[in-house]
A and B are shown apart, each in its own frame.
Chain A
Amino acid sequence: MENSIFEYKGFDCDIEQQTSDSFEQFALAQQEGIAPKKLKAPIFGMWEITSKCPQNCIYCYNSSPMRVEELSGRQLFDVADQIVEARLFSICLTGGEPTMRPEYDDLVRYLCVSGINVATAISGANITQPRAKMLSRYLSTVQISLDGSTAEIHDGVRRREGSYQDAINAIQWFAAEGVRVKVSFAASTKNIDDLERVYGLCDELGVSELRTQKLAISGKVKNHEDGIVPTSEQYDRYMQFINVHPKLKCKLVYGDPSVHITKGVKMDMVLLTRITSEGNVGITPYADIYFGNVKEKRLTEIFDSMVGAWNKPQVRECIIKGLLSTEDETVRDGLSKKIFIS
Chain B
Amino acid sequence: MDNKNKYPKRINVRWRWDGEDDSYITYQNPRNGNINIMNPVAASIFFYSDGHNSITDIIGKIMEEYEIGDEKMVADDVQKFIEELKKQHIVIMLDGEE
Contact = CB atoms under 8 A, between A and B. Distances in A.
Nearest to A140: B33
A22 B35 contact: yes
B33 A25 contact: no
Interface stretch (B14-22, B49-57, B62-70, B79-87): B14-22
A40 B32 contact: no
Interface residues of B, number: 26
A25 B19 contact: no
A115 B28 CA distance: 12
Contacts of B35: 21-22, 25-26, 43, 89
A35 B43 CA distance: 12
B24 A7 contact: no
A87 B16 CA distance: 6
B14 A117 contact: yes
Contacts of B39: 34
A36 B42 CA distance: 13
A119 to B, nearest CB: 12
Contacts of B23: 36
Given A7-B89, A34-B39, A89-B28, A39 B33 contact: no
B19 A36 contact: yes
Interface in A23-45: 25-26, 29, 34-41, 43
B20 A38 contact: yes
Contacts of A29: 36-37
A282 to B, nearest CB: 20
Contact of A40 (B18, B31, B34): B18
Contacts of A321: none
B26 interface: yes
- The A interface, classified by DSSP as helix, strand, loop or mixed, is loop
Nearest to A21: B34
Contacts of A115: 14
Contact of B20 (A8, A37, A89): A37
A25 B34 contact: yes
Nearest to B27: A89
B11 interface: yes
B85 to A, nearest CB: 13
B22 A7 contact: no
A22 B22 contact: no
Contacts of A22: 34-35
B23 to A, nearest CB: 8
Contacts of B19: 36-40
Contact of A12 (B18, B33, B38): B33
A138 B42 CA distance: 32
B60 interface: no
A299 to B, nearest CB: 14
A223 to B, nearest CB: 37
15 contacts: A6-B11, A6-B12, A7-B30, A12-B33, A22-B34, A25-B35, A34-B38, A36-B23, A36-B24, A37-B20, A39-B26, A40-B19, A41-B16, A115-B14, A117-B28
Given A12-B33, A36-B18, A89-B28, 12 more contacts: A6-B11, A6-B89, A11-B33, A25-B34, A36-B23, A39-B18, A39-B19, A40-B17, A40-B22, A41-B16, A89-B14, A117-B14
Interface of A: 6-12, 21-22, 25-26, 29, 34-41, 43, 87, 89, 115, 117
